[in-house]
Homo-oligomer: A and B are copies of this chain.
Amino acid sequence: MGSMRPRVVIVGGGFGGLWAARTLAKAPVDVTLIDKNNYHTFLPLLYQVAAAELEPEDIAYPLRTILRKMPNTSFVMADVDGVDFDNRLVKSDGLSIAYDYLILAVGSTTQFFGVAGAAEFAFQLKSLDQAIEIRNHILSCFEMASVETDEEFRQHLLTFIIVGGGPTGVEFAGALAELINGPLKKDYPGLDLSCARVMILEAANSILFGFPQQQRQYALNRLRSMGVVVMLQTMVSHITQHTVHIKDRGVFPTETVLWTSGVTAAITPNWGLSTGRYGRVNVTSTLQLQDHPAVYIIGDMSSVDDGRPLLPMTAPVAIQEGIHAARNILLRLNEQNPLPFTFKDVGAMVTIGRNAAVVRMGKRDFTGFLAWLVWLVVHILNLIGFRNRMIVMLNWALDYIFSDRAVRLILPFKKIWYNKKD
């Protein structure tokens, strides 16, 4: 470009990266946003794609369309494989992109804690691709079960095990139970769905760790009333293609394991970044990398190493850190010192299914129908794109009225067809 303006490179078009770009949109800098996908994913609703409640497109939005309103920002679709911090170059797919300031915001990926077979045989729910893979797999299990004559294997095909009772595990379990008891029951009149089973295996003695006791109990009761089997203090020792093994407690045969019990920064060792607690990169209280102050690291992939409690890996944290990192860069451009980041807690919410959610906002906790309405409104308002909002609202309204789901396509490319004796 030949411009003399400072170059800010942002890696990652999630909540953190996008809000950093928005904050810089009117500043005298040239911004390059890099993402391996050409879309932003609204991750809080990802589990609904996996449960065939929303379509992938409903929760994704083209990054280039978002950037149309930011003339100082260009987009590069590339999979970043490392950073040359000394020469200030982002490396990706053969490209080298130079920066004066860098914001790393690539988010988190699944962490298996070394459980044997987990990486190989368990599904993950951290990206749109993975959500589609789970949806295809679950629907294929029902198709296979409908022609399976071996009763025992049919039971295994209809057993769905979720490892981890955090928000993702709880929300997905609720949505899957509703999928099975609603649309799939109508779709498979010849199949005895009383043997279908959704299970949550949680290592701690409670689900939704971190939520108030009354909310955890509400969620547990609610899940159980929907037929979800919740097993607490249950540690998975290893996983095979057809089984989940519990420490000292035996074996569950199943064709479907979803691993939601751990995350870590989505970087490989050759990024040369040392990670601390929960595999997150330590940064200063100003969100900078200690040895490379031109580099800011935000969102799920980082943690402030100043003795304060670790921040959760949520959209509000990423958004606030993205805005803060961008503002610190603007301060530096004015030769001022960057400021330490303070998180403003806006609360937390988890939905368990139709008319049921738990919400914590400020000092107020509530559960049930009102919480579910709040959850609905907050998620609709935060979805990017007028069209996505309308289509999600339309889908939810039709789901609610007809207890049915939009589309249950096994799409696209490869059908997942298993053999018992593989």
Q: A residues bordering B, Cβ < 8 Å?
A: 36-39, 55-57, 60-62, 64-65, 68, 71, 74-78, 93, 95, 128-129, 132-133, 139, 143, 146-147, 183, 186-190, 387, 390-391, 394-395, 398, 404, 406-413, 415, 417
Contact = CB atoms under 8 A, between A and B. Distances in A.
A187 B62 contact: yes
A417 B95 CA distance: 14
For A74, A183, A408, which residue has the most chain B Cβ atoms within 10 angstroms?
A408
B62 A408 contact: yes
A149 to B, nearest CB: 10
A56 B132 contact: no
Contacts of A61: 407
B39 A128 contact: no
Contact of A55 (B39, B55, B132, B394): B55
A38 B409 contact: yes
A408 B147 CA distance: 37
Contact of A394 (B36, B76, B183, B390): B390
A62 B405 CA distance: 10
Nearest to A186: B68
A183 B68 CA distance: 11
A37 B410 contact: yes
Q: Please report whether the interface of chain A is mostly helix, strand, loop or mixed according to DSSP.
A: mixed
A95 B147 contact: yes
A411 B64 contact: no
Nearest to A398: B387
A302 to B, nearest CB: 26
Contacts of A404: 65
Nearest to A71: B189
Contacts of A408: 38, 62, 64-65
Contacts of A37: 409-410
A148 to B, nearest CB: 11
18 contacts: A37-B410, A38-B139, A38-B143, A38-B409, A38-B410, A60-B407, A60-B409, A61-B407, A62-B407, A65-B187, A68-B189, A75-B146, A78-B147, A129-B411, A129-B412, A133-B413, A387-B394, A413-B413
Nearest to A63: B187
A186 B67 CA distance: 10
Contacts of A95: 147
A133 B76 CA distance: 21
A77 B147 CA distance: 9
Nearest to A129: B412
B409 A62 contact: yes
For A62, A76, A139, A390, which residue has the most chain B Cβ atoms within 10 angstroms?
A62
A304 B410 CA distance: 34
Given A62-B187, A407-B62, A412 B147 contact: no
A37 B413 CA distance: 11
B143 A411 contact: no
Contacts of A57: 55, 57, 406-407, 409, 411
Contacts of A409: 37-39, 56-57, 60, 62
A56 B411 contact: yes
Given A38-B409, A74-B190, 17 more contacts: A38-B143, A38-B408, A57-B57, A57-B406, A60-B409, A62-B408, A64-B188, A65-B404, A68-B186, A71-B189, A76-B146, A77-B143, A129-B411, A132-B413, A387-B394, A387-B407, A391-B391
